[in-house]
Structure formats: C-alpha cells, structure tokens
Amino acid sequence: MERLGHITHNAVAVQSYYLLRFIRNETPLSHLFFTDDLILYARAHMGQAEVIDSILLEFGKFSGHKVNRRKTSIYFSPNTTDELQQAISSRLDFQHVSCLGKYLSVPVIHKRTLRFYYNFILEKMRGHLTGWAAQSLSLAGRLTLAKSVLSAIPMYFMQSTMLPK
C-alpha cells in the first residue's frame, strides 16, 4: 500500500494526476488509505481515468495484487454529465454508485451534513439503554455502564466527522 501511495504522489508531482480541493483554502487530496482500502479523488475527466488506471496497473506489477473491479465503486459529483459518467465507468470497469454508503460504520456523506443524518447514533445509544434497563443491574451499575459506553459511541464517529450542532 505504501508503494501505491508513492506511485500516486509521483503522478501528482509530474502533474498528470490532479489534487482535488473539497473546501476553499483547505488542503487538497489525491487519495486516502483506510486499513486495506483506498479512496482515490480525481476530476471527472477521461485523462484522469487513464492516469488512475495506469496507477492501479503499476501497483499490480510491483505488488502482485490486482484490483477487484467488481468490488470497486466509483462516485461522481452531481455536476458530471451522464455521458461522461458512463464513459469513465466503462473505461475503468468500476461499478457506478449514487451513494458510497458506510465505511467502518461511518456514513460517507457527499454533501452538506445535516443533523438527521446522524440520528442512528442516538438510536444506537437508546438501544443500549433499553437493553440495560431490562437487565438486573443496579442503578449505580447502569450509570457506570452508561458513562463508559455511551460516551464512547459518539466519540467514535467524531474522530472522522464533524457532527452538526
């Protein structure tokens, strides 16, 4: 995976692969590594699709690993035309999706975050509380459990996401 990072950085250095800036005046990104997964960010352009394909092929030559194209998803900005989405998806042979879903239980959100997107955190906490109330724990035991476990649930999600007020 480190080699894949080097290949991507080299493509950025020679300006064949462009960094993507999500927020004005913030650090641009080309990729993110997660455990054994990778997210590549690129402009919706056929030239960028070809660079991505060459990066993945070069990685395969060095590592002996192949990208499982059936398991690989591609997400496009709503501003991308249908024709361009189809052309890039066909070129890379990736499955086009309208939502990336969740990664490690954290939703991958493609637009402005709204409070209701995170209702699942409250539901998860409520589920724990009702389960504990039915158990034969004393009030002090339930309070201790609530303080330790319930505080950890939102903290997990706040490590990677800024929750709305």
How do residues 18-75 score in pLDDT, each as one tens digit? Answer: 888 877 888 888 888 877 788 888 999 999 999 999 999 998 898 888 888 888 889 9
Q: Are 102 and 108 in contact (CB under 8 A)?
A: yes
Question: How many CB atoms within 10 Å of residue 15?
Answer: 8
Q: Among 11-15, 37-41, 104-108, 119-123, which is the least confidently predicted range?
A: 104-108
CA angle 16, 19, 20 (to 5 degrees): 135
Q: Which two tokens stand for residue 19?
A: 């960094």
Greater confidence (83 vs 125) lies with 83
Q: Region 117-141: what's the mean pLDDT?
A: 77
Q: What is the structure's pLDDT at 110?
A: 61
pLDDT of residue 54: 93
List the beta strands (DSSP E) in the chain. 31-34, 37-40, 73-74, 95-96, 102-103, 106-107
Q: DSSP state, 117?
A: G
Give Dmax over CA atoms of the chain in angstroms.
Answer: 64
Confidence (pTM)? 0.68
3-class state of residue 135 by DSSP: coil
Cα–Cα distances (Å) from 121 to 79, 134, 147, in that order, read: 31, 21, 15
129 pLDDT exceeds 80?
Answer: no
pLDDT(5) > 70: yes
Domain ranges across the chain? 2-98, 115-158
pLDDT at 107: 73
pLDDT of residue 92: 94
Please tell me the distance from the alpha carbon of residue 102 to that of residue 46, in angstroms, as a whole number. Answer: 27
